[in-house]
Structure 1
Amino acid sequence: MLPAPVSFAKRGGYRRSRNALNQRRIDVLLSRARITNLGLLLLSAVTVISLLYNVSYVFAPTRVSLGDFPGPRRFSDTIQRDASVRQLSHLVIVPGHAIWKGGDPTRILNEEDWILESYQKGGGRVNAFYQHIKGGVKLALEDPRALLVFSGGQTRSASTFTEADSYHRLAVESSLLPLGFLRATTENHALDSYQNLLYSIARFHEYVGRYPDYISVVGYEMKRERFENVHRKAVRWPSKQFRYIGVDMEEQNGSAMQGELNNALIPYRKDLYGCHPPLSTKRRNRNPFYRYHSYYISAPELAGLMDYCPEAGLSTVFDGPLPWDRL
C-alpha cells in the first residue's frame, strides 16, 4: 500500500522552518564577534610563536636528515680521538700533484709508476714529488704537535686513488712513515692549490677537533709566492703563523716558471678564490668522479669562506668571522 501523499500545507511549513534555520545561521555568522582580552592575547601569542618558528626554520643552517645522508644521527658517536691527537696544533700540508700507482718502493722514481700529465714528464718532477713527501714526513716526525696532511683529490679518471691516498701509501711503502702512524692522514677532496690549503685546515679540524695554531706547507719553490701571498691572504691566515718550504725540480726551466705565472699566479691574483673561469673550469675538469667534501658538517665555521665568491674581476677578501682571528 502506498503512503499517503503529504499535503501542500505541511510541505509549506517544512520549507518555512528550513528557511528560518538558515536565516539564524546567517545572522550568527554576520553578528559581531565577542572575545575577551585574554582570548585575544592568547590568539596573538600563538600566532607570533608560529611565525617565529617558521622564520627560524627557513633561515636555519642546512639540515642533514637520515633520509638525505645515511648514517648515525650523531656523527661524533663514530669518533673516539686518541688523547695525543687532541693535543696537536701544527698543520703540515703536502699538496698532491700526481698519483703514484706503483707497489714497488724501489721504483718510486720511475715515471711509468705514476699517472702524470704530459707536461709533468721529464725534468725530475717525480723526484720533486718524492722530496715533498719526505719533507713533510720529516717535519711531522720532528714535531710531536704536528699532523701531516697529504692533500689532493681523485683527479684522474685512470685511477681509483686520490692524490693524497697515493702519497700516503708511498710514504708507508717506502718506510718513510711507520704503518699506523696516527699523526699522518689524507685530505681527499682538494682540486687545486687554494683548496689544498683551505681543505687541509678543515681536515685538521675534522681529525683533531680543533683548528691549528701554525701551518707549514711543503711544495714547489716556484709556488711560494702563490701560497704565501695569495692563498694565505685569501683565507686570512696570519703570516707569522705560516711557513712555506720550497723544493723544486732538479732541472728547473723557464717554461715551468712561465706556466706557473700564466696558468696560476696571475689568474689567482685576479680571482683569489678560484670561483670563476678559467680556475673554476680547471676544478670541474679535475673532478671526473663528481666528489664533494664533508667539511660543511665537520668544519661548519668555515662554511662562509668555502662558499665565498666575489664578483668576477674583484679581489675582495672574505671579511666574515674565522676561527683563527684570535691568532
Structure 2
Amino acid sequence: MLPLPVSLSGRRSISRHSLRPSHRSTKDVLLSRARVTNLGFLLLAAVTALSLLANLSHYFTSSSSISRFLDSEQPSSILATLQRDPSLAAVNHLIIVPGHAVWKGTDPKLRLYDEEWILEPYQRGGGRTSAFYKHIATGADLAEEDTKSLLVFSGGQTRQTSSTTEAESYMRLALSSGILPPAAPPGTPPSPPLRATTEDHALDSFQNLLFSIARFHEYTGHYPERITVVGYEMKRQRFTELHRAALRWPRDRFHYIGIDAAGEELAKAQEGERLNGYLPYTLDVYGCHDLLLSKRRARNPFTRYHSYYTSAPELVPLFEWCPGSADGGQTMMFKGPLPWDHLR
C-alpha cells in the first residue's frame, strides 16, 4: 500500500509560479531604473568599437590601395600613346626655369614691355620682365652647353584672364626668340626630340621643384641625377635651404643660378621675399597649410591637377605628405624612400 500524502494543512500554500525561477528579459533588466547607466555605457562602447573598426578598415584599405597602385604598371592606354626617343636615356641633368608670369605677346622684340605680359600689380615696373627673359635665356644656354640636360619651364595656369600656363608662355617666347638649342645639328637624320619641355601644374616654388622632377621622369622615363634651377637671386635660400632639403635632394647635386631684376628696388624685394616666401616655408615646409595653401588655391582658378600620380607613382607618398601636429609639427620631414636616395 502506498503511503498517504503529507498533509499541507495549516501551512502556507506554495503555488506553481513560486516554484519557477524568476525569468526577466534582457530588455527589462537594461531598462530597469538601476540599469539605465549600464545601457548607456554599452551603447557608447558599441559606437566606439564600430568607429574604431571603420577607421582601421579605412587605414588598411587606403594603405593597401596605395601599395597596389605603386606596384601596378602604368595604364596601357596611356603607354600606347608614348614613343620616347632612345637618346633620352642619356639625359640626366634637369634644368628648371620657374615661371613668374604669362607672356601674352606674339613679337619677341616687344618682350620687355609690361603690356606684353599678364602681371600682378607688384610686378609692374622695376625691370621684372627683363629678369624673366634672362631666366629663360640662361636656361636655354645651359641646355645648349650640356647635351645630357633637359630644360623644363615650370608654372601652371595661374591667371584667370588667360588659358595659357606660365610654362607654356615661357616656352613659346623661347621658341619664337630662336634661343632654344636645336634638336640636332643641321642635316643629321633622324632628328632627336627637343631637349626642352613644360611642366604645366606647379602653383608655387616648392611645386616648381617637385613637379619638374616628376615631369623629367614623365618625359624621359627615369629620374635626374643633377638639378640646376635658374631664378631670382633673392629666392636662392628658399630653394637651396628649404625646398631642396624638404625633398632630401643631395646638396652636391643641386645648383642654383640667381638673376634679379636690374632696375628693381632690391632691398624692398628682398624683404618681401623674406616675409612672404622664406619665413612661411620655414614654418610650413611642404606648403600645405594655412597661408601657403591659400596661395595655391588662389593660383588655381581653373581647378587643374597634375598627371604625376600616374607618370611618377614612386612619388605618390611624397605628393601626399603634409605633416601636422600629430606628426611632430609642420616642419616634420618626409621619411619614406625616394628614387634619388642612391645618389647620396
TM-score, length basis structure 1: 0.78
Give SS of 1:227's match: helix
The number of residues matched between the two structures is 267
Would the aligned equivalents of 1:218 and 1:246 in 2 still touch at CA under 8 Å?
yes
Q: Per-residue displacement from partner, 1:148-195 (whole Å, max 9, x unpaired)?
A: 000000000111100000000000011112677610000000000000
Q: 1:318 aligns with which of 334, 337, 343?
A: 334
Matched, 1:300 2:334: no
Would the aligned equivalents of 1:88 and 1:147 in 2 still touch at CA under 8 Å?
yes
Give SS of 1:282's match: helix
Matched, 1:185 2:201: no
In structure 1, give the amino acid aligned to 2:214.
A
Q: 1:274 aligns with which of 287, 291, 297?
A: 287
Give SS of 1:211's match: coil
Q: 1:148 aligns with which of 132, 144, 151?
A: 151
What is the CA-CA distance between 1:124 and the residue it aligns to? 0.5
In structure 2, give the amino acid aligned to 1:267.
P
Matched, 1:251 2:251: no
Would the aligned equivalents of 1:152 and 1:163 in 2 still touch at CA under 8 Å?
yes
Q: Per-residue displacement from partner, 1:184-218 (whole Å, max 9, x unpaired)?
A: 00000000000000000000000000000000000
Alignment correspondent of 2:115 = 112
Matched, 1:283 2:266: no
What is the CA-CA distance between 1:78 and the residue it aligns to? 1.2
Q: What does 1:1-327 align with in structure 2 at a 5 Å threshold?
A: 59-61=64-66, 73-177=76-180, 182-253=194-265, 254-311=267-324, 313-327=329-343
What is the CA-CA distance between 1:241 and the residue it aligns to? 0.4
Bigger mean CA offset, 213-222 vs 179-188? 179-188
Unpaired runs of 5+ residues, structure 1, are 1-54, 65-71
What is the CA-CA distance between 1:60 and the residue it aligns to? 2.6
Would the aligned equivalents of 1:149 and 1:185 in 2 still touch at CA under 8 Å?
yes
In structure 2, give the amino acid aligned to 1:296.
Y
What is the CA-CA distance between 1:125 and the residue it aligns to? 0.4
In structure 1, give the amino acid aligned to 2:335.
D
Would the aligned equivalents of 1:172 and 1:179 in 2 still touch at CA under 8 Å?
no
Would the aligned equivalents of 2:144 and 2:181 in 1 still touch at CA under 8 Å?
no
Give SS of 1:60's match: helix
What is the CA-CA distance between 1:58 and the residue it aligns to? 8.0
What is the CA-CA distance between 1:61 and the residue it aligns to? 2.9
In structure 1, give the amino acid aligned to 2:64.
F
In structure 1, give the amino acid aligned to 2:158.
T
Q: Per-residue displacement from partner, 1:235-284 (whole Å, max 9, x unpaired)?
A: 00000000000001102422211110010100001101000010000000
Tell me the distance in 1 between the aligned counterparts of 2:139 and 2:301.
28
What is the CA-CA distance between 1:302 and the residue it aligns to? 0.4
Tell me the distance in 1 between the aligned counterparts of 2:255 and 2:63.
42
Give SS of 1:148's match: strand
Would the aligned equivalents of 1:151 and 1:163 in 2 still touch at CA under 8 Å?
yes
Would the aligned equivalents of 1:223 and 1:260 in 2 still touch at CA under 8 Å?
yes
What is the CA-CA distance between 1:98 and the residue it aligns to? 0.1
Alignment correspondent of 2:55 = none
Tell me the distance in 2 between the aligned counterparts of 1:211 and 1:314.
27
In structure 1, give the amino acid aligned to 2:307.
S
Would the aligned equivalents of 2:140 and 2:181 in 1 still touch at CA under 8 Å?
no
Bigger mean CA offset, 243-252 vs 289-298? 243-252
Tell me the distance in 1 between the aligned counterparts of 2:138 and 2:331.
32
What is the CA-CA distance between 1:142 and the residue it aligns to? 0.4
What is the CA-CA distance between 1:296 and the residue it aligns to? 0.5
TM-score, length basis structure 2: 0.74
Alignment correspondent of 1:22 = none
